[in-house]
Structure 1
Amino acid sequence: MLNTINYEQFKTFASNTKNAKTIEEIDVFFNYLKKYMQECSKGNEEVAEKLLHKAGRVICDLNSKCHKETRKYFLTNIINICDSKQLENLMGCFLLGIIKSEKMLSDDAKVYVEISKKVI
């Protein structure tokens, strides 16, 4: 499993950025992530893969913006957005980071944990 995401650093960056375009991109990323999870749960692999690549492009762009603003990356490795398995691992790590950080281990979050286990 890739352990490339530092969710706390991403969360800090997201809360501190003043750039409206960056805030929009964060919303777009979470939207793609949500749609990706929905398509995975429906078994629509082709649609899910397209959403995965879109989310990958957005997260890589956000990573660059984070470095420009804070001099730190929240992704510690270079992500190849053409590599579906690497992107799946990244999204799985990101989801698990959110679940752990936000202490979302209630019954509602079990669905997301199961989906993220399939991704990883």
Structure 2
Amino acid sequence: MSNQRVVELSVLDEPVVPCCPPLTERPLTAEEAERTAQMFKALGDPVRLRLFSLVASHAGGEACVCDISDVGVSQPTVSHHLKKLKDAGLLSSERRGTWVYYRVEPGVLAAMGQLLGAAAR
């Protein structure tokens, strides 16, 4: 039995599934690298990273789009960036009346931390 830790990442609206160990434990396979790169690509835009941070840090773990739209771009651009974050499996959303509420997918922050964390020595 292996002591290898596995990171969970959700990509492209798939449920969170085991992905890969911390980067310091072994090289990523081509498939692991592809899935992980999609997540980082989504977070590679400053507006998307800010939106992700706004949702992740919002009280109660979810944020109404009306509370996070003031990021210096138009509403259609905010919607585009939120869609990119959803497509990468980083956020989920729920419509309630006229507003859409966003939440960080369960396990994403822990998985990102584990992936980037140094292996315990």
Q: What band does the TM-score fall into relative to the shorter chain?
A: 0.3 to 0.5
TM-score, scaled to structure 2: 0.35
User: Higher helix share goes to which structure?
Assistant: 1
Which structure would you say has the larger Rg? 2
More strand by share: 2
